[in-house]
Chains A and B, each alone.
Chain A
Amino acid sequence: MIVSKLRKEFPFLNRMYSTSLKLRGTSHSKPLAYFDNASTTQKPKAVIDAIVDAYTNHYANIHRGVYDLSVEATDLYEGVRAKVAKFIEAKSAKEVIFTKNTTESINLVAYCQDRNLQDGDEILLTQMEHHSNIVPWQMIAERVKTKSIYSSSETEGRIEKFSTSSNNRQIKIKYIPITEDGRLDMNSLDRLVTKKTKIVSLTLMSNVLGTINPIKDIVARIKSLGSKAVIIVDAAQAVGHTKIDVSDFGCDFLAFSAHKMYGPSGVGVLWGKRELLEQMPPFMGGGDMILSVDFEKTTFNEIPWKFEAGTPSIADVIAFGKAISFIEKIGLVNIRKHEMELTSYALKKLSEIEGVKIYGINYKDRPYIDRSERLKKGRSLFFDRGSVIAFNVVGIHPHDVASILSNESVAIRSGHHCAQPLMSVLGIDAACRVSFGIYNTFEEIQRLIKGIQRVKEVFRLTTKAKRLTPQPFKSVSHSTLDFSHS
């Protein structure tokens, strides 16, 4: 993989950025060193062109028209479904549902698990989940407290009236703890998985620590404990960086977004085992998800369309197909190799800066090995980690770090990364995060390192480091929950 050649395929690198803050002695114009790939990736020309091409040459609504253009758009759209199925090793394209994003995919599963939850049941999550894999479950637990269960005849494809007997169902949410180096505490599974565990939902890769969880082992362990829990995998961070193989993982559902794998925003995927999808009630009602509707009742469409009410993001789905081709052309093995070389270099360089604290799997016990050495040892060296690094410059708030780096045209993320529960486990309020994609270079990481030195200069940390005493976090008097965190 030749990165310089690859970078030519990304038009965002053509834009030059100049300083925005007026800081002592900074003035330049550089392409952005974009290190927020865990949030969303930039788009290659092939994907951007595909959106234009879809709207220009192949656009009509799908599944409806009998005219040629509509058939053509339908074929392109459904072609991508088949492509996704192959990309994640699904048995059938019918198991692939297009949503808006990972969040919607998880919400879809959560919403439809409603009637499988009985009083006293448990949902098992992990301490390293993104808010999108916590809040939907909290909401569903709250909702089933008072709401009655769907009547069973609805599985035959007919909406019956809701059962009027309201039974109070208390659902407990438990969390798999993390170890000090940011891995899941596998031993806790024996204790946490019980007969009452109906749902296990966990991330394949942490969006903060970069930890890659051994999903296959976890699924096997849960099953060996005799649990029949539905297992959902949030693959948002892993997709496009490492191989997703649903048949190998053994999970029941898997969710991810196109926009984190060089595809367009507005397209998410939910993969689910066919028999489970068929049993599930629809998520949203509307057009395209029905077989027939009369004034009293509706017969639902088959999977996957049962879950795709309304006109989807047609052009974006079509362009998503190009993103998959783009990744396949480079090869996930090559992508992973490049990204982990960057990660290992960045971990080494960051560790060398005094006052930088790295969270998660670091190199204390695993020294940096140069490329030739590592190739000899094999790729498995990095099986437990992806290209996301969370760190703090001790004494400086991550927002200040990010602002000053932004002035150097280096884009990093700062904040709680939509993982406030994890932040509290780590004992911090916020962190800096860098995450690498295929277009990142060693030179860009050097700019990051220089930028962090600059941060320390601006804050005079090299000379005097007088700091605020951290205040213990106190509960805030907000009456409403704010779900707008992103």
Chain B
Amino acid sequence: MDIYREEILEHWRSPQNFGKLEDADFVIDQINPLCGDQVTFYFKIKKGKIGNVSFTGKGCAISIASASILSEAILNKPVTALAKITGRDVLKMIGGPVGPARLKCAFLSLEAVKKLAISD
């Protein structure tokens, strides 16, 4: 499948859940040392579930699109379920593969989301 297909580019142009969440319970930063790209995830927890989620940051099409897609996927999911999301799942969501050099871009948000599962 084409990684730079229209669906991905649309997420890059108009990412879902983009912006700050003022009443967030958790704010998690994640940085990609390869390029200095960074995402910040905001989580609002309701009864052990992701009541609301958003992110800010800057990055390539792959990292922004995967943040956007992942944020949609985890909404209303139990926090405990986040630990079970694998890199393979993310690649499936974004329609990878992206090639080994770009895995860090694709997984940047997943790493942030997994931190929530650990910190919670």
Complex-state Cα separation, A485 to B35, whole angstroms: 9
CB distance from A274 to the nearest CB of B (A): 40
- Taking a contact as CB atoms closer than 8 A, the residue among A22, A423, A466 that contacts B36 in the complex is A423
Residues in chain B near residue A478, CB distance under 8 A: 29, 31
Residues in chain A near residue B61, CB distance under 8 A: 396-397, 400, 459
CB distance from B100 to the nearest CB of A (A): 10
Residues in chain B near residue A423, CB distance under 8 A: 36
Does A399 reach chain B (CB closer than 8 Å)?
Answer: yes
Which range holds the interface residue count of chain B?
A: 20 to 34
* Residues 27-74 of B at the A interface (beta carbon under 8 Å): 29, 31, 33-38, 40, 56-64
Residues in chain A near residue B35, CB distance under 8 A: 398-399, 414-416, 429-430
Does A197 reach chain B (CB closer than 8 Å)?
Answer: no
* Residues 252-301 of A at the B interface (beta carbon under 8 Å): none
Does A470 reach chain B (CB closer than 8 Å)?
Answer: yes
* Residues 216-243 of A at the B interface (beta carbon under 8 Å): none
Does A473 reach chain B (CB closer than 8 Å)?
Answer: yes
Complex-state Cα separation, A416 to B64, whole angstroms: 18
Does A460 reach chain B (CB closer than 8 Å)?
Answer: yes
* A429-B35, A468-B58 known; A22 vs B105 contact (CB < 8 Å): no
Complex-state Cα separation, A416 to B37, whole angstroms: 10
Does B77 reach chain A (CB closer than 8 Å)?
Answer: no
Residues in chain A near residue B75, CB distance under 8 A: none
Contact A482 B13 (CB under 8 A): no
- Taking a contact as CB atoms closer than 8 A, the residue among B9, B31, B38 that contacts A459 in the complex is B9
Hey, what's the 0/1 contact readout for B1-38 against A, CB within 8 Å counting as 1?
Answer: 11110000100111100100000000001010111111
Contact B38 A476 (CB under 8 A): yes
Residues in chain A near residue B57, CB distance under 8 A: 471
* A466-B13, A471-B58 known; A403 vs B31 contact (CB < 8 Å): no
Complex-state Cα separation, A485 to B37, whole angstroms: 13
Does A164 reach chain B (CB closer than 8 Å)?
Answer: no
Contact B9 A460 (CB under 8 A): yes
Complex-state Cα separation, A415 to B105, whole angstroms: 12
Does A93 reach chain B (CB closer than 8 Å)?
Answer: no
* Residues 54-109 of B at the A interface (beta carbon under 8 Å): 56-64, 98-99, 101-102, 105
Does A484 reach chain B (CB closer than 8 Å)?
Answer: yes
Does A66 reach chain B (CB closer than 8 Å)?
Answer: no
Does A474 reach chain B (CB closer than 8 Å)?
Answer: yes
Contact B1 A429 (CB under 8 A): no
* Residues 396-423 of A at the B interface (beta carbon under 8 Å): 396-400, 403-404, 406, 414-416, 420, 423
Contact B59 A397 (CB under 8 A): yes
- Nearest 10 interchain pairs by C-beta: A397-B60, A399-B60, A415-B35, A476-B29, A430-B35, A466-B13, A400-B60, A400-B61, A458-B4, A429-B36
